[in-house]
Chains A and B, each alone.
Chain A
Amino acid sequence: MGVEHPVQSNTIVDVLEKVLDKGVVVAGDIRVGIADVELLTIKIRLIVSSVDKAKEIGMDWWENDPYLSSKAADQNTKALEEENKKLHERLEQLERRLETSEAKPRY
């Protein structure tokens, strides 16, 4: 058919709204319901759209974000603030580097 499954973030939402929310519910032996499909979709969309990009440029701070990962759930705010500060510095560095490379003449 002419219309196919659209790609990327639309697909993520489309898939999750069906797989997590719909489909036949027969009494399995194990009930593993998902409480908040909406919230979960947001989290997953954010992860999928940013992980590779973030890793690519070394910004893997999300691994320590308690909202996105349970690994960091017990870390305190101070550590996060420190992380945030480092991140800002890094971002500045990157921007500076970007500016210098743009300033160079191209051949």
Chain B
Amino acid sequence: MSKMKLVMVGNGMAGVRTLEELLKISPEMYDITVFGAEPHPNYNRILLSPVLAGEQTINDIILNSREWYAEHGITLHTGKKVTQIDRVKRLVIAEDGTTAEYDRLLLATGSDPFILPVPGNDLEGVIGFRDIKDVDTMIDASKQYKHAIVIGGGLLGLEAANGLAIRGMDVTIVHIHKWLMERQLDEVAGKMLQNSLEEKGLKFLLEKHTEQLIGENGRVKAVRFKDGQEVPADLVVMAVGIRPNIELAKAAGIYCNRGIVVNDTMQTYDPRIYAVGECVAHRNTTYGLVAPLFEMGKVCATHLANFGIGRYTGSVTSTKLKVTGIDLFSAGNFTGGEDTEEIVLHDAVGGVYKKLVIKDDKIVGSVLYGDTVDGSWYFQMLRDGKSIAEIRDHLMFGQEASLGNLGHAGQNKAAAMTDDMEVCGCNGVCKGTVVKAIKEKGLFTLEDVRKTTKASASCGSCTGLVEQILASTLGGGYSPQSTNKPMCGCTDKTHEEVRQIIRDQKLLNIPEAMNFMDWRTPNGCSSCRPALNYYLVSTWPHEAQDDPQSRFINERAHANIQKDGTYSVVPRMYGGVTTPDQLRKIADVADKYEIPMVKVTGGQRIDLLGVKKDDLPKVWADLDMPSGYAYGKSIRTVKTCVGSEFCRFGTQDSTRMGIELERAFDHMWAPHKVKLAVSGCPRNCAESGIKDVGIIGVDSGWELYVGGNGGIKTEVAQFLCKVTTHEEVLEYSGAFIQLYREQARYLDRTVHWIERVGMEYVKKHILEDAEGRRALYERLLYSLQGTPDPWKKRVEEAQARREFEPITL
């Protein structure tokens, strides 16, 4: 059978990204032909400004070389503008007569700069700022002429002006509005930007309406405004907006309004014809930022590949960008109105301005100038419609206000970092490496950077920094990612959707779940399989099939893998209490198996490090102690202080309480590790303030705190309630943990989950609904009922032991 023919008109970023996505999922399906009006292969349009400024060359910004097209068997026609689509014969015809037949046609014609309809707009020296040709014209002009006028004080205009000034021209920016970038900035920020650009030598004419361009010998000579003023101009760059390029589609009778109208599958009114990018109008919106365009491309590719999955439902965009070295961020309704409140921080000398617009306790808009590190955080809350009532008093000071992330020396301004400074302390990635990868490998998203450089790919605490570097390297091309994203590349469903379907359909094993939800890969990947396995066993305890092969090695081997492939063994000591007999056994085992290190852990256990995998079952048998689950997404330890039994300050028997809790929740799997602590008095020696559930004994009972974390980012636990009896401590803690087990995304710690749902939500379920609380606690106890100790099981059962037995030749 011969292949289907796919023709793409437009050889720009959105279109070629669609082809890349298509080739990834269905490489053999089509014979592909691409027409591009420009004489270049696909290049990174966003980086035209650095080329103009002389920081990069055209070759640096090519995304797909001609070899790439050849390698994938794509016929590439550059410098050929398609002028006609014959929908009856299914044929496209270019200016020079080249034709190509199609079974599917993809329109990615992009947009054109809007040229003001004023007399003289066709003079030589009057251009837009859109493609390599425009940049060449500007560079040539800068060598021969002096006066440049840029019409349009938006991002593009300012970048053009900056580049021309660097090339030695005398540049004036003409803008119709009262301040610059009025679509992204409010007046204060707009004026700050203007001041800083004036310091660099740029001039501004604001609130000016262009009336006419005056020429001499066919070339532009001056610009005249409606108020009669005239300024000299040897070069006029129009940067007053873009227009979707729809002529071709319109002439072919394809329905267009502002853009080419498409549905959620990126299909036009002709079902054989798809469209993506700046040329489309989707739900009456056109887009100009790269992130939404790429989202469209991804959806379109799945439909071209006949997978029929994925819908594009529009994007909420924010702008995080860098204009001539100044970081800016804006999102939502940043001007506000009568029913909104504002929180403002303004340091004119320091060059920092931050404004949050709030309505009904929710962020509805934001402008940040100079310091944009918290832009993504604000944007996430804006998009999720999260209530900020609880954090209002320190909201303005940012996510890391009082408790900084660790691992990058307290840096929170990427711009202030030199290339050799470390961004990612986990993987040792420097700023220069990230910048280089973004430029050379054509990266656009946080995910791209994570995959390629590993920066922010481990603990994630440097995510904000990496996003800033992306924003400053890509300029206007960067838009933070949506939070409600699919679980992984194997599905389009979110964690929440997957959980719901597992519950509604009573899915009991992984193949069944993948089959029902149309998983894209035959057996998932290392990120979705463990998540699915957890969702199955936590939703249907005692019924769902726990698949060891879908668990990370630590949970499969019930020990913690170390860098040299050996394992560590941590036996359980309930409440951190041990006996001389246990200690003797541990000492004997350490001697017998020549265990290289014996260490006391932070959770009040003893860790035997460097055990060979095949020794594990023997070590467990000799120890004859239960597993401490020090390796799992599971209950870890309940740390305790001595408490009233011995301590002269103790008000409660914290040790006994800790032992009761640890016994009650033994063998419990969870979305991530779960740590508890019980202190016997407010001196809090067990550090209850940084635990998932922290309990503090006071004279009249017990205080419960939840959502603390001592790891990557120190998070202080929040007060949940005060109770009187041991039974209540068990019930309230258990109900909280079960709510987390049932609702958090896999790999969410309690703090992340609470951040998303809000403390009020937790209180409503645990404190206000007594029946619901008891039911949660019952469900937790039911799921733990009769669960065996994993070490004992492996010591006793040959089949379970096989994991640990090597084959010797």
> Are A and B co-members of a single complex?
no
Binding site for A on B (CB under 8 A): none
Binding site for B on A (CB under 8 A): none
